[in-house]
A = this chain, B = another copy of it.
Amino acid sequence: MQPEFLFDFGSPNAYLAHLIIPAIEKRTGARFKYVPILLGGVFRLTNNKSPVESFAGIKNKLEFQRAEMQRFIKRHRITAFKMNPFFPVNTLQLMRGAVAAELEGVFEPYVDAMFRYMWAEARKMDDPEVIRASLNEAGLPADTLLHRIQEDGVKQRLLQTTQQAVERGVFGSPSFFVGKELFFGKDQLRDVEEEIMQQERAA
């Protein structure tokens, strides 16, 4: 049983999901596979937009989303969250970096560190100097990773996971697959957990 978590560092809700996933793994025994996708690419391929853009002209909707995010943070006693003042941050380099980190065998510490710098420390993570300093601070091989994100293979791989995600039904972030079942948004994490339990029982 390996549920999938399709993420882009640019999505605050993906970060919040990332914080909750360890507890779900503990309760279910399942281990999530993290799949880096480029949200901008998903939006282009599906003609979708970020909530901030889609809901901009709609009274009450963004206010509700903000209140709901605060409730989620409170419910899960999350202390390490700060809205990023540079939002929206272009995450192309960061996401290619996730692919490179996978090839270099440092995927997990990379993902954890980048999420933290984006949404707990609210850094400007599309600035090459900030990326380099952050990689160094996290003890990750900055030179190697920044070199590898220029590789065609790395660029193609990110394009591929993004296209495949859209072919499987994805339209935004965070998205989750439990088997073939797609779930969308941090608010569906309980459904994700129930589906894992159910598929485990059925197996």
Contact = CB atoms under 8 A, between A and B. Distances in A.
Interface of A: 45-48, 54, 57-61, 63-64, 67, 71, 75, 166, 169-171, 181-182, 184, 187-188, 190-191, 194
Closest 7 CB pairs of A and B: A46-B59, A60-B171, A48-B58, A61-B171, A60-B169, A47-B57, A47-B58
Given A47-B58, A58-B48, A64 B169 contact: yes
Pick the most buried of A57, A58, A60, A188: most chain B CB atoms within 10 A of its CB. Answer: A60
Query: How many copies make up the complex?
Result: 2
Contacts of A48: 58-59, 61
A184 B71 CA distance: 13
Pick the most buried of A59, A75, A166, A182: most chain B CB atoms within 10 A of its CB. Answer: A59
Given A59-B166, A188-B187, A171 B46 contact: no
Contacts of A184: 64
Contact of A182 (B47, B64, B181, B191): B64
A196 to B, nearest CB: 14
